[in-house]
Structures are given as C-alpha cells and as structure tokens.
C-alpha cells in the first residue's frame, strides 16, 4: 500500500447537493456541537458517493470549511484510510483481495487477469473508461476466497476463467450476477451434503 496520490486534474468547485446537504446536517447532529470535526469521516464518504466514487481536493476544502477544521486535518484523514479514493476510479471499481487466504487460493492469478484485461498498473482506468482495479487487504470473506469486490458487490470463489468472464462483463458494461462462482450457497460447504443425514429436503 503506497501513499495515495492526489489526482492532477482537479475540479474547481465542490458542493454538496441538496439531498446530501440534508444528510450532512443529519450526520452533524449525531456529534456534540463542540466536536463537529468528528463528522469528518461520514462527510468524506458522502462526498465520495456524490462525486463518482472519488474525493477531489475541492471537497476536502469544502468539508474543512463545513466543519471549521484545518484543511490539513481533513487531508490527513482522507489519506490515512484506504477506502477514500483521491483520484478518479472506473465506473466499476474492482478491488482484488490479496491477503493470505485469498493469496493461497490464487489471488495472484486474478491480479494478473486484471492487468491483462483492464490496465497494466493498479489504479489506472481502462482504455474504455469503465473499469479500474486495485489490490486491497482482507475483505473479510475468506471462506469464499479468492474474491473481488466491485463497487458494493462481492464476486466469490473465483479462478482465472471465471474472473475473465466477470471482467469481460464489466468491460462491456454488462455486469454478471454477483455471488459465488462455484455455485455455493453463500458460505455453505460445496461437496458434502447440504443437509443433515436422514433429514428431509427442506
């Protein structure tokens, strides 16, 4: 995990939309008035949602002013947490888990597939502008390793072939159904019986 780079091309202005401003005010109410700046994380997330899944500098400044805290402190928070994107990502943002269990189950193959299908370097957006990928630490679904997270969905039990299919789907803007790709029912065992001995089919 290297230091996140701030994108070269930055929009001039950022402002919360009307709905988000309403949400932001609701968030603020959860915190004591003299500790407004505690709301910085939910607000950054809100800004990221509003701005195609990445946070421009203008938004950092806007939030700094919104919470009357120094810009550098907002910047610190935004660079500390990996889930804040400070540069644009694709419409389909593919996060490949490469922590030990996934790695043991072949996450490297998935990374290689991403390099082949999407872009050579991590975080670069594909030529058609639809996808970008990055390696992340544990996504917390080790039992279905290896997995990728695309925006808010998990694609589980992958191998090279299934990954290729999935990525092709995204590259053509036709996403496949998420879930297990070895036909497992969520985290249930695959080969042994799915019901207790002697029990009737549920």
Partner 1 sequence: MPKITINNKDIEFKDGMTVLQACELAGVEIPRFCYHERLSIAGNCRMCLVEMEKSAKPIASCAMPATEGMNIKTNTQMVEKARKGVMEFLLTNHPLDCPVCDQGGECDLQDQSLYYGFDKSRFKENKREVKDKHMGSLIKTQMTRCIHCTRCIRFSTEIAGVPELGAIGRGENMEITTYLEHSMESELSANVIDLCPVGALTSKPYAFKARPWELKKTESIDVMDAVASNIRVDSYGWEVKRILPRLNNNINEEWISDKTRYACDGLLKQRLDKPYKRENGKLTECTWDEAIDLISSKIKETNPKTIAGHIGDMASMETINSFKNLLNSIGANNYEFREKPFYINPKNKINYIFNSSINGIEKCDLLLLVGANPRHEATMLNARIRKSFVNKKLPIYSIGDSGNLTYDYKIIGEKTEDIKKLIEGENEISRKILNAKYPIVIIGESALELKSGEFILEGIKDFLFKNNFITEQWNAFNILIQNASTVGAIDLNFLDIDKKNNFNFFDKLNKNQFDLLYLVGSDNLDFVKKNEFIVYQGSHGDRMTQIADVIIPSPAYTEQDGLFINLEGRLQQCIKATYPPGNSLEDWKVFNLLNKRLTNKELFKNFHQLRQETLKQVKNHSDFNLLPKTKIKELQQKSGEFKYPFLGSLRSADQRVSYIDEFITIKEVDYYFSNSIARASKTMSNCRAERSKSFKNKTGS
Residue of 11, 22, 70, 173 that binds partner 1 (CB under 8 A): 70
Q: Does 3 bind partner 1 (CB under 8 A)?
A: yes
Which range binds partner 1 by CB under 8 A, 16-24, 72-80, 173-181, 192-200? 72-80
71 touching partner 1, by CB under 8 A: yes
Q: Taking the complex as a whole, how short is the minimal distance between the CB of residue 65 and partner 1, in angstroms?
A: 13
Cβ neighbours of residue 90 under 8 Å, at least 6 residues apart? 118, 125, 126, 129, 130, 131, 132
- Which residue in this structure is represented by tokens 């072949």? 106
Q: Is 83 in the site for partner 1 (CB under 8 A)?
A: no
With CB under 8 A as the contact rule, the residue among 26, 65, 80, 173 that binds partner 1 is 80
Query: Does the footprint of partner 1 cover residue 79 (CB under 8 A)?
Result: yes
Measure the CA angle with vertex 132, ends 121 and 39; round to 5°. Answer: 115
Beta-bridge partner residues of 125: 132
What is the contact mask toward partner 1 in residues 46 to 65, using x (rule: CB under 8 A)? Answer: -----------x--------
Judged by CB under 8 A, does residue 31 bind partner 1?
no
* 154 Cβ contact list (under 8 Å, min separation 6): 139, 141, 144, 147, 148, 178, 179
Q: Would you count residue 75 as binding partner 1 (CB under 8 A)?
A: yes
| E strand map for the chain | 92-97, 131-136, 148-150, 153-156, 179-180
Tell me the closest approach of the beta carbon of residue 48 to partner 1, in angstroms. 17
Q: Does 178 bind partner 1 (CB under 8 A)?
A: no
Q: What are phi and psi of 94, to 5 degrees?
A: -100, 120
Cβ proximity of 14 and 20 under 8 Å: no
| Interface residues toward partner 1, by CB under 8 A | 1-4, 6, 57, 70-73, 75-76, 79-80
């Amino acid at each position: 995990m290297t230091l996140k780079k701030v994108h070269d091309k930055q929009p001039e202005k950022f402002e919360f939309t009307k709905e988000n401003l309403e949400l932001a005010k609701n968030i603020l109410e959860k915190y004591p008035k003299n500790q407004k700046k505690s709301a910085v994380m939910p607000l950054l997330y809100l800004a990221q949602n509003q701005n195609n899944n990445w946070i421009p500098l203008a938004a950092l400044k806007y939030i700094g002013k919104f919470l009357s805290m120094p810009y550098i402190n907002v910047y610190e928070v935004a660079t500390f947490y990996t889930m804040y994107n400070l540069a644009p990502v694709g419409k389909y943002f593919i996060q490949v888990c490469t922590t030990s269990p996934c790695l043991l189950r072949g996450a490297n193959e998935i990374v290689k597939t991403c390099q082949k299908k999407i872009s050579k370097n991590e975080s670069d957006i594909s030529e058609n502008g639809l996808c970008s990928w990055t390696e992340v630490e544990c996504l917390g679904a080790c039992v279905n390793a290896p997995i990728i997270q695309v925006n808010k969905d998990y694609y589980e039990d992958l191998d090279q072939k299934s990954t290729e299919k999935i990525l092709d789907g995204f590259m053509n803007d036709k996403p496949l159904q998420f879930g297990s790709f070895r036909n497992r029912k969520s985290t249930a065992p695959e080969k042994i019986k799915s019901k207790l001995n002697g029990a009737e089919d549920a």
